[in-house]
């Protein structure tokens, strides 16, 4: 009955990384069957395992789709052909059978050798240059007529992450930290990792929602930026506007940040904040002319943080620094993401999803929101080191700032003691 078959091999920590049982699952779920032809189980935890399976299906099409699925677990087909490709028929238009990427490291077989594909992002396509044995991922909209786009599934190899042997805070993977669990320890761990990244010159991105300012936690974030814990900041028109409003008028959407009460006529303040910046031309000009002298935007500009403000259709104004064309904003975000090791997404769904879509699987992601549905959505985007915190943005930012300060103090004490010796 299962007249079509193919052999595939899997190698690595395929049992303790759950690769093998997931492969078995997948084959059965998709209506195929398998035989284990060869199996060597690593006896100790530092020995790799190896499996050779005969995969069977009733139709060639079904077999094909099973093989595609197994590919994403790192399965390699016995038949090792080169990758196939076709020219793009028009700008931004792909050959019908284009290959759509995952967010995992990928290789293509070119001229008989496995070549690393540059960039890693989900739902892109792979463009190759056979002459130079080079390949890179690219958004479909950026593909020009005639560029060579990978098609089919032959000659493509995905390198899935091996399971980390050490348990750490980010291995909560896909299981969020609910409001009922202790978060203090988790926040301290995040602070510790941020310190490490900063000390080795790594890059941390914060995707910041307006609630940070609105809830009165803006100055904590500003301090973190000033002290070098943020290298890239993504946001929208709202966070910039709220931040400038709070600096100029002490309000956020007309609510006084000192006493939490609406200021009469204060609803107009955010429009006035936008107008003030429009009048000087840009946030950078406003900083340089001394129009704003503190706040999140001020610190970003003073400390050369890469700032991308992406517009949305619900924006008032907007601020002159906001990129209203979302396609252009994506280009800027992609470029700013190069080298980012850790992303904190705080109280903004739109910009966080946009960012999550662009991340490769190895980036550490912390998603913070009071709405569990948002946290689940963000933490489920498939990175392997996502940590979702269902909690209050204001209190989270305060706690994080305080955990960082505590760490800085310890470090200073240690240094002082070293100098004494």
Residues 174-233 that bind a copy of itself (CB under 8 A): 177, 179-186, 210-211, 214-217
405 near a copy of itself (CB under 8 A): no
Among 113, 267, 293, 410, binds a copy of itself (CB under 8 A): 267
Yes or no: say if 221 and 344 are a contact pair by the CB < 8 Å rule: no
Among 134, 324, 334, 408, binds a copy of itself (CB under 8 A): 324
Yes or no: say if 134 and 118 are a contact pair by the CB < 8 Å rule: yes
1 near a copy of itself (CB under 8 A): no
Least separation, in Å, of the C-beta of 209 and a copy of itself? 9
DSSP line for 350-397: HHHHHHHHT--TTSEEEEEESSHHHHHHHHTSS-TEEEEEES-HHHHH
Where does this chain touch a copy of itself (CB under 8 A) — which range of 130-138, 286-294, 352-360, 409-417?
A: 352-360
**β-pairing, 134-138 with 49-57?**
unpaired
Structure tokens at 163: 């399971």
Binders in 276-315 for a copy of itself, by CB under 8 A: 278-279, 310-315
Give ∠ CA 120-122-123 in degrees, rounded to 5: 125
420 near a copy of itself (CB under 8 A): no
Least separation, in Å, of the C-beta of 173 and a copy of itself? 12
116 near a copy of itself (CB under 8 A): no
**Secondary structure of residue 270 in the 3-state scheme:** helix
341 near a copy of itself (CB under 8 A): no
73 near a copy of itself (CB under 8 A): no
Where does this chain touch a copy of itself (CB under 8 A) — which range of 10-18, 154-162, 294-302, 406-414?
A: 10-18
Among 197, 208, 297, 329, binds a copy of itself (CB under 8 A): 329
CA distance 91 to 46: 48
Where does this chain touch a copy of itself (CB under 8 A) — which range of 79-87, 110-118, 290-298, 343-351?
A: 343-351
C-beta closer to a copy of itself: residue 38 or 414: 38
Among 18, 59, 335, 411, binds a copy of itself (CB under 8 A): 18
Binders in 120-159 for a copy of itself, by CB under 8 A: 123, 140-141
Burial 348-364 (b: 16+ CB within 10 A, else e): bbebbebbbebbbbebb
Torsional class of 83: left (φ above 0), alpha (ψ -120 to 50), beta (otherwise): beta
Among 48, 60, 92, 412, binds a copy of itself (CB under 8 A): 92
Q: In the 8-state DSSP scheme, what is residue 159?
A: -
Among 261, 293, 409, 410, binds a copy of itself (CB under 8 A): 261
411 near a copy of itself (CB under 8 A): no
| # of chain residues touching a copy of itself (CB under 8 A) | 107
Least separation, in Å, of the C-beta of 417 and a copy of itself? 27
Q: Site mask, a copy of itself, residues 50-69, x = CB under 8 A?
A: ---------------xx-xx
Instruction: Name 118's bridge partners.
Output: 136
Q: What radius of gyration do the chain's Cα atoms show? A: 25
Torsion angle (degrees, nearest 10) of CA 239, 245, 246, 251: -110
Yes or no: say if 208 and 217 are a contact pair by the CB < 8 Å rule: no
Where does this chain touch a copy of itself (CB under 8 A) — which range of 77-85, 221-229, 258-266, 298-306?
A: 258-266
Q: How far apart are the first and last CA of the chain?
A: 79
Task: Give the torsion sign (CA, 340, 344, 348, 349).
Answer: positive
Where does this chain touch a copy of itself (CB under 8 A) — which range of 74-82, 319-327, 359-367, 412-420?
A: 319-327
**Secondary structure of residue 73 in the 3-state scheme:** coil
């Amino acid at each position: 009955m299962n007249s079509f078959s193919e052999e595939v091999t899997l190698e690595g920590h395929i049992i303790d990384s759950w690769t093998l049982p997931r492969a078995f699952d997948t084959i059965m779920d998709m209506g195929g069957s398998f035989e284990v032809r060869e199996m060597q189980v690593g006896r100790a935890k530092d020995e790799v395992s190896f499996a050779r399976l005969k995969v069977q299906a009733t139709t060639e099409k079904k077999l094909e789709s099973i093989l595609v699925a197994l590919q994403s677990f790192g399965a390699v087909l016995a038949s090792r052909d080169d990758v196939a490709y076709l020219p793009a028929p028009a700008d931004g238009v792909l050959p019908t059978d284009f290959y759509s990427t995952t967010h995992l490291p990928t290789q293509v077989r070119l001229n008989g050798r496995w070549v690393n594909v540059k960039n890693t992002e989900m739902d892109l396509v792979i463009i190759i240059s056979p002459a130079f044995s080079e390949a890179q991922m690219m958004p479909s909209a950026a593909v020009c007529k005639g560029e060579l786009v990978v098609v089919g599934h032959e000659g493509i190899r995905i390198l899935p992450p091996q399971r980390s042997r050490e348990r750490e805070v980010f291995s909560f993977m896909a299981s969020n930290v609910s409001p009922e669990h202790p978060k203090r320890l988790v926040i301290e761990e995040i602070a510790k990792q941020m310190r490490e990244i900063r000390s080795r010159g790594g890059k941390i991105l914060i995707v910041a929602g307006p609630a940070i300012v609105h809830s009165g936690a803006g100055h904590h974030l500003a301090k973190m930026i000033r002290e070098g814990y943020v290298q890239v900041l993504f946001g929208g028109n709202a966070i910039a506007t709220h931040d400038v409003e709070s600096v100029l008028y002490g309000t956020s959407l007309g609510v006084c940040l000192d006493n939490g009460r609406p200021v009469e006529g204060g609803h107009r303040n955010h429009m006035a904040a936008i107008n003030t910046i429009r009048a000087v031309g840009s946030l950078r000009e406003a900083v340089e002319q001394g129009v704003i002298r503190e706040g999140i935007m001020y610190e970003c500009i003073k400390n050369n943080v890469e700032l991308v403000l992406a517009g949305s259709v619900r924006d008032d104004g907007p601020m002159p620094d906001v990129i209203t064309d979302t396609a252009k904003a994506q280009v800027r975000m992609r470029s700013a993401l190069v080298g980012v090791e850790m992303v904190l997404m705080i109280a903004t769904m739109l910009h966080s999803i946009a960012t999550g879509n662009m991340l490769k699987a190895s980036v550490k992601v912390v998603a913070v929101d009071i709405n569990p549905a948002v946290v689940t959505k963000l933490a489920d985007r498939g990175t392997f080191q996502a940590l979702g915190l269902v909690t209050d943005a204001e209190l989270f930012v305060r706690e994080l700032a305080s955990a960082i300060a505590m760490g800085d103090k310890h470090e200073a004490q240690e240094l002082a003691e070293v100098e004494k010796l």
